[in-house]
Copies of this chain bind each other. A is one copy, B any other.
Amino acid sequence: MVTIKEVAERAGVSPSTVSRVISDSPRISDETKQKVRRAMEELGYHPNAIARSLVNRATNTIGIVMPRSAEDVFLNPFFPEALRGIAKCTHDEGFCVLLTTGNSDDEQIESLLSVVRGGRVDGVILMYSKLDDPILEMLTEMNIPFSMIGRPTISEDINFVDNDNVNAAYEAANYLISMGHRRIGLINGSLNLVVSIDRYEGYKRALAKNKIELDESIIMSSEFVQEGGYESMKKMLSVENPPSAVLVTDDLIAFGAIRAARDMKVKIPDEMSIISFNNIPLADFATPPLTSVDINAYSLGYKAAKLVIDDIKGKKHKPSCYIVETRIVFRDSVISKNNIS
């Protein structure tokens, strides 16, 4: 490995001069800069990031915490998509991305802990928001810059990015109602995720606003996977008075739900309308193409990264939050009930 000293020697200057050339300090004459740069060139010198980090006390790296093990995560396109946004922003800002992993909650925590205590990252992005999350607690305690994707429930000063999920769900449900549906089911994700809570709230508000009574028998919650959607839809359809439409809080779940409907010979959208969330790339290729709420996961990621990085750079002194827009992408899984009857 070629070091700053060797460059210095070759250029006939001192190491400090080389260092200042690297940072393009005005204290060094142009003549010397040329000389040093040539030496660097000839030797194939590249600054050692580790040494630099040590003295600067900055690694230019941010750590990413995904839910649980990375296991379940990657099955859902939401995370990759958000990660894409994160990667874009970090790269733009000259930062690296370090993945934190673990095969259990404990391992996950231990992994994060070692990474931040070890000083390997300058900040952290928490890619989800759930109730009573020990990681969130840790992060605030450790006093390291971080931001999260999803609204925090503890109302401390925390950087976060989120959709307005209650409103988004409100509008989705409202859309169903505007299409003439009065009996509307809900297939939700796990209720300890605040995104699920919020969408549930929006659903409730839409029904209330339209004087539709809540019926617990057509409100389910499942894990964020297809199987959950499959089971939920089966239950939904075996209720004495099944809904004519259902709001599903995740496309993957919706895929499962569609499959269940097909298996039970109920036609979508003719006998059952479906609107769901996330607008994954495959939504367009479902049968029928899925009407879905686009949450702009990419922006969610990008902004989350921007928030931590600004925090790290000390640009913002107050915690900030950012709400990214959602929009319904209309496809063919919802039908107007008025037209039929």
Chain A interface residues toward B at CB < 8 A? 1, 46-51, 53-54, 59, 61, 70-71, 73-75, 77, 79-81, 83-84, 87-88, 90-91, 96-99, 101-103, 107, 111, 114-115, 117-120, 225-226, 252, 255-256, 258-259, 262, 281-282, 284-287
Distance between Cα atoms of A80 and B78 in the complex (Å): 11
Q: Are A74 and B80 interface neighbours, CB within 8 A? A: yes
A-B contact sample (4 more), CB < 8 A, given A1-B119, A90-B101, A99-B99: A50-B120, A226-B285, A256-B285, A282-B282
21 contacts between A and B (CB under 8 A): A46-B117, A47-B118, A49-B114, A49-B118, A50-B54, A50-B119, A61-B98, A70-B88, A74-B80, A74-B81, A75-B80, A75-B81, A77-B77, A91-B101, A97-B101, A98-B98, A225-B281, A255-B285, A256-B285, A258-B285, A259-B284
Distance between Cα atoms of A225 and B1 in the complex (Å): 42
Distance between Cα atoms of A49 and B59 in the complex (Å): 11
Across the interface, A284 reaches (CB within 8 A) one of B90, B226, B282, B284, namely: B226
Distance between Cα atoms of A316 and B262 in the complex (Å): 53
Across the interface, A50 reaches (CB within 8 A) one of B59, B81, B88, B114, namely: B59
Residue numbers in B under 8 Å from A117 (CB-CB): 46
Distance between Cα atoms of A54 and B51 in the complex (Å): 6
- Top 8 nearest A-B pairs by Cβ distance? A74-B80, A49-B118, A46-B117, A287-B287, A87-B101, A97-B99, A255-B285, A70-B87
Residue numbers in B under 8 Å from A46 (CB-CB): 114, 117-118
